Chain A
Amino acid sequence: MKSKSAFTPLRAALWLPLVALVGLCIVFFQSLGFSPRNVLPSAMLDKPLPEFSLPELSSGIQATHLDMPKEAFLLNVWATWCFPCREEHPVLMSIAESGINIVGLNYKDEDAKAVTWLNTIGDPYQLNLVDRTGDYGVELGVYGVPATYIVDQNGVIRYKHIGPITDEDWEQKLSDIFLSLAKKQARA
Chain B
Amino acid sequence: MIPELAHFLCVLGFTCALALGGTGFFAAKFNQAAWLLAARQLAVLQFLTILGSFVLLDISFLRDDFTVQYIASNSNEALPWYFKASAMWGDHEGSFLLWVLVMAGWTGAVALRGRSHSIDMHGYVLGVLGLINAGFLLFLLSASNPFLRAFPLNPTVGMDMNAILQDYGHLVHPPFLYLGYVGFSVAFAYAIAALLTGRIDAAWARWSRPWTNTAWAFLTVGIALGSWWAYYELGWGGWWFWDPVENASFMPWLAATALIHSMAVTEKRGAFKSWTALLALLTFTLSLIGAFLVRSGVLTSVHAFAIDPERGVFLATIVAVVASLALLLYAFRASKLRSQIAYRGISREMLLLANNMLLTLALAVIFLYTLYPLFYEWLTGGERTSIGPPYFNRAFVPLMMLLAACLALAPLSRWKRTPLALYKPVLIMLVVSAVLGLFIPLVYAGALNLGVSLCVAIAVWIVASHLAELYRHRRSLALSFVGMNVAHLGFAITVIGIAMTSGFSVSQDLRLSVGDEVQVGERTYLFSAIRNVEGPNYVANQADFVVGDVLLQPERRQYTTRNTVTTEAAIRPGFTNDLLISLGEPVGVDAWAVRIQEKPFIRWVWLGAVLAAIAGVIAVCDVRYRRLRVRELTAAQVAD
Contact = CB atoms under 8 A, between A and B. Distances in A.
Interface of A: 2-5, 7-9, 11, 14-15, 17-18, 21-22, 24-25, 27-32, 34-37, 41-44, 80-81, 83, 86-87, 89-90, 108, 113, 116-117, 119-122, 134, 137-138, 141-144, 162
| Residue of B289, B307, B320, B508 ringed by the most chain A CB atoms within 10 A | B320
B313 A29 contact: yes
A33 to B, nearest CB: 8
A83 B274 CA distance: 45
28 contacts: A7-B271, A8-B335, A8-B338, A17-B278, A17-B330, A21-B285, A21-B324, A22-B324, A25-B316, A27-B375, A28-B374, A29-B320, A30-B378, A37-B300, A37-B307, A42-B382, A44-B383, A86-B567, A87-B565, A108-B390, A113-B509, A120-B510, A120-B511, A122-B587, A122-B588, A137-B386, A138-B386, A142-B386
Interface in B584-601: 584-585, 587-588, 593
A44 B285 CA distance: 35
A142 to B, nearest CB: 6
Nearest to B289: A24
Nearest to A3: B342
A150 to B, nearest CB: 18
A30 to B, nearest CB: 6
B313 A32 contact: yes
Interface string B318-358: 01100110011011001100111110000000000000000
B309 interface: yes
A80 B582 CA distance: 14
Nearest to B281: A17
Contacts, number: 144
B339 A83 contact: no
B378 A27 contact: yes
Interface stretch (B116-124, B232-240, B531-539): B232-240
B585 A7 contact: no
A128 B396 CA distance: 32
A27 B274 contact: no
B292 interface: yes
A143 B384 contact: yes
B377 A120 contact: no
A4 B342 CA distance: 7
Contacts of B390: 108
A7 B341 contact: yes
Contacts of A81: 236, 238
> Size range of the interface on B?
35 or more
A2 B340 contact: yes
B386 A143 contact: yes
A126 to B, nearest CB: 20
Interface string B278-289: 100110010001
A29 B314 CA distance: 10
Contact of A83 (B236, B271, B316, B388): B236
B307 to A, nearest CB: 7
B114 interface: no
Q: Which 10 A-B pairs have the closest CB atoms?
A: A120-B511, A18-B327, A143-B386, A143-B384, A121-B593, A25-B320, A28-B316, A15-B331, A32-B312, A144-B300
Contact of B374 (A31, A44, A162): A31
B297 interface: yes
A31 B281 CA distance: 24
Contacts of A108: 388, 390
Given A27-B375, A120-B510, A141-B385, A83 B342 contact: no
B370 interface: no
A116 B323 contact: no
Contacts of A11: 335
B202 interface: no
B235 A89 contact: no
B316 A32 contact: yes
Contact of A43 (B274, B383, B511): B383
Contacts of A25: 316, 319-320, 324
A90 B377 contact: no
Contacts of B319: 25, 28
| Residue of A25, A113, A134 ringed by the most chain B CB atoms within 10 A | A25
Contacts of A9: 274
Nearest to B310: A32
Contacts of A31: 298, 374, 377-378
A27 B328 CA distance: 19
A58 to B, nearest CB: 16
Contact of A14 (B330, B371, B380): B330
B528 to A, nearest CB: 20
Given A8-B274, A21-B327, A144-B300, A121 B282 contact: no
B509 A116 contact: yes
